[in-house]
């Protein structure tokens, strides 16, 4: 019985992390969120405990099953006015009939839930016990300050919520906002919002400013903020305008949550070294998490290795975002995507007239990155001649533009990466040994997905949350049979292939659960893919995948490269190394 009760309570907290669940459990106010057809969108544990009727996500809520008769018509009229006219009802008395036949006196509030400035999405029904028994004519006048009356309601919400006045000063800040940002309410009340959030959009493109200037809501905006401890975090925000009784703009309200899925956030909070944009709780990932702070704080060159699709650029960005250089640019350059002469100009820049087509002076990446981080991806594809030039730059910390004579300082930190095993390249001389050791002051090896399969459920949940936003769907999870296939498969394309697989499923899934038939035709449990899904594979790991891509594209190398997710030049090199060229 105890287990059943726990499961029933769990229905109201789907996708909510431990901290949020504690907040909902301890809330002194019941909360039910309804859509326009009275379907239950969300509820907290206090509501579940106080109402005798079992609450289930998606079911139609019938107030008549628990609201005492004399108060039912008043409540139904209030709901009608909220859903169809946007009118709020605050602090109205009523009574709930319990399963034992007793009555609990309550006070309730109903407020509209807006999808945008004009469209009402549903209603928020909040209630709490009232010690005095209400009278039968309990239709009290309800014209008090809604924002103040809803203070306890805001505390119970599973998202961060804060409000500002027209002077851009923070007027309220709920518990979840404290947990997400690391700031306490006392620290932020009365301060300008940009002083607290330090968003990358505060100076240009602020969604709060857009809402106040236009009077329209801003929905599903993703922005990056800086938490109190200095760590950057991407959040998804929704913004509404607050108006006074005369309809004048009195401020704005913003709700926000981390862009990553709540479940994966919950899992990562168990690891003190976890980082917001990297998903994983396996032993290999914990080992990486443990060294990232030291690597980020240092100025040494980091050499990242790992198979294609493991997310090497993500780790490079994480090192940058958690370093003293975080406020400066992060610039990534794919060394295999450009011809040698073009790449040299991209890196060093060039002077006007340095070569045919150089009609004006142009700054290169070394110059544009300033004091930030320059990420050189696929560094193993560099020709020896350019390796020599880059080695000189790394040793002397200075460079010249192509065709120029002025020496410019290199102020950036260098992080490089490759998916190649450079042992053979070092042996045959195609990759310089002195350049290699200059790059790899500290090596960072990213494990393939097949070596950290316990992270697959976390990654699946993350991508479900991500693609729910992209596809405007409400997928809740994956069928156990599909998850078994995920665990049996070796994922030669690593995390990138898993992401594409979930994206493929979102195209075809119709209900809340991704099933086996929604997946691409992966030959689960083996290291090969069928022709239909070679576009999900890791770029050309073997003859089979390259040959399949060429066959699928009718021999068109450009299309084959696109299917494999690599450049045409990289495909040519791979075909040459595999003996597939005529």
Q: For residue 412, what pLDDT band results from cuts at 50, 70 and 90?
A: very high
Which SS3 state, helix, strand or coil, does residue 261 take? coil
Question: Are both 325 and 435 inside the same structural domain?
Answer: yes
Which of 248, 263, 210 is closest to 466 using CA atoms?
263
Q: Judge contact between 534 and 545, C-beta under 8 A.
A: yes
The distance in angstroms from the start CA to the end CA of the chain is: 71
**pLDDT attached to residue 454:** 92
For residue 303, give the CATH number of its domain: 3.40.50.300
Cβ neighbours of residue 136 closer than 8 Å, sequence gap 6 or more: 70
Assess whether 304 and 430 both reside in one domain: yes
What tens digit of pLDDT does each residue of 174-195 get?
A: 888 999 999 998 899 888 888 8
List, for residues 370-380, the tens digit of each pLDDT value: 899 999 999 98
Question: Which phi and psi (to 5°) does residue 257 adopt?
Answer: -150, 155
Last residue of a domain, one of 98, 114, 145: 145
Domain that holds residue 191: 159-259
Q: What pLDDT score was predicted for residue 274? A: 52
Domain finish residue from 445, 478, 510: 445
- 425 plus 548 within the same structural domain: no
Cα–Cα distance for residue pair 106/124, rounded to 1 Å: 16
Total length of the chain: 582
Does 231 reside within a domain? yes
pLDDT digits (tens, 9 = 90+) for 123-159: 888 888 876 544 433 333 333 344 444 455 566 667 7
The whole-chain average pLDDT of the chain stands at 77
With a CB cutoff of 8 Å and minimum separation 6, the contacts of 190 are 169, 170
Listed residues 145, 175, 207: the one ending a domain: 145
Angle in degrees, CA 552, 554, 559, rounded to 5: 75
Percent of the chain topping pLDDT 90: 17
Mean local confidence (pLDDT), 87-112: 82
Give yes or no: residues 406 and 463 share one domain. Answer: no
Residue 290 in any domain: the answer is no
Contact 50, 82 (CB under 8 A): no
Q: What is the DSSP letter of 580?
A: -
CA distance 34 to 524: 41
pLDDT tens digit sequence for 207-237: 787 777 777 776 656 677 888 887 878 787 8
Q: Are 331 and 410 in contact (CB under 8 A)?
A: no
Domain assignment present for residue 281? The answer is no
CA 453 to CA 488: how far, in whole Å?
9
For the chain, how many structural domains are there in total?
4
Q: In what order do the strands lie in the sheet with 413-418?
A: 330-334, 373-377, 413-418, 302-305, 442-445
Structure confidence by residue, pLDDT tens digits, 47-70: 888 888 888 877 888 888 888 877
User: Which band of pLDDT confidence, cut at 50, 70 and 90, is reported for residue 444?
Assistant: very high
Residue 284 to residue 172: CA distance in whole angstroms? 41
Kindly state whether residues 123 and 97 are assigned to the same domain: yes
Q: 292-301, 423-432, 449-458, 559-568: which range is least confident on average?
A: 559-568
């Amino acid at each position: 019985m105890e287990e059943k009760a726990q499961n029933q309570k769990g229905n109201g907290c789907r996708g909510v992390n431990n901290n949020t669940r504690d907040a909902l459990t301890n809330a002194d106010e019941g909360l039910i969120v309804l859509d326009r057809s009275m379907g239950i969108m969300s509820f907290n544990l206090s509501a579940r405990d106080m109402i005798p009727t079992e609450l289930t996500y998606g079911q139609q809520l019938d107030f008549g099953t628990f609201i005492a008769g004399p108060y039912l018509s008043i409540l139904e009229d209030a709901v009608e006015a909220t859903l169809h006219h946007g009118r709020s009802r605050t602090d109205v008395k009523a009574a709930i009939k319990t399963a034992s036949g007793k009555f609990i006196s309550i006070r309730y509030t109903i407020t509209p839930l807006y999808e945008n400035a004009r469209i009402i999405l549903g209603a928020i029904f909040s209630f709490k016990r009232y010690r005095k028994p209400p009278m039968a004519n309990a239709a009290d006048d309800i014209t008090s300050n809604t924002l103040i009356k809803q203070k306890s309601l805001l505390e119970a919400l599973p998202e961060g919520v804060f409000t500002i006045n027209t002077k851009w000063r923070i007027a309220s800040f709920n518990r979840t906002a404290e947990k997400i940002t690391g700031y306490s309410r006392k620290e932020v009340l009365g301060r300008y919002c940009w002083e607290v959030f330090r968003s990358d959009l505060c100076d240009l493109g602020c969604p709060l400013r857009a809402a106040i200037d236009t009077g329209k809501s801003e929905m599903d905006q993703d922005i990056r903020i800086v938490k109190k401890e200095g760590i950057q975090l991407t959040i998804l925000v929704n913004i509404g305008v607050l108006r006074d009784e005369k309809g004048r703009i009195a401020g704005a309200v913003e709700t926000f949550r981390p862009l990553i899925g709540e479940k994966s956030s919950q899992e990562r909070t168990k690891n003190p070294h976890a980082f917001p944009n990297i998903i994983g709780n396996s032993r290999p990932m914990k080992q990486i998490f443990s060294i990232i702070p030291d690597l980020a704080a240092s100025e040494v060159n980091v050499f990242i290795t790992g198979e294609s699709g493991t997310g090497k650029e993500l780790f490079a960005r994480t090192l940058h975002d958690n370093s003293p250089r975080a406020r400066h640019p992060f610039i990534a350059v794919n060394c295999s995507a450009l011809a040698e002469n073009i790449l040299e100009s991209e890196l060093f820049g060039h002077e006007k007239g340095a070569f045919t087509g150089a009609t004006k002076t142009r700054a290169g990446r070394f110059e544009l990155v300033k004091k930030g981080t320059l990420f050189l991806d696929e560094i193993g594809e560099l020709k020896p001649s350019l390796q020599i030039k880059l080695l000189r730059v790394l040793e002397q910390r200075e460079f010249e533009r192509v065709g120029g004579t002025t020496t410019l300082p290199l102020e950036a930190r260098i992080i490089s990466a490759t998916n190649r095993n450079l042992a053979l390249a070092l042996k045959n001389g195609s990759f310089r040994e002195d350049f290699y050791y200059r790059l790899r002051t500290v090596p960072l090896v990213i494990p393939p997905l097949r070596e950290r399969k316990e992270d697959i459920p976390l990654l699946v949940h993350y991508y479900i949350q991500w693609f729910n936003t992209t596809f405007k769907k409400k997928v809740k999870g994956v069928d156990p049979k599909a998850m078994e296939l995920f665990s049996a498969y070796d994922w030669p394309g690593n995390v990138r292939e898993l992401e594409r697989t979930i994206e493929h499923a979102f195209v075809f899934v119709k209900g809340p659960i991704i099933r086996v038939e929604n997946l691409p035709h992966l030959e689960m449990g083996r290291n090969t893919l069928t022709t239909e899904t070679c576009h999900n594979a890791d770029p050309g790991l073997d003859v089979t995948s390259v040959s399949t891509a060429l066959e699928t594209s009718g021999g068109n190398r450009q299309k084959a490269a696109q299917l494999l997710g690599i450049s045409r030049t990289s495909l040519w090199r791979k075909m040459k190394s595999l003996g597939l060229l005529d």
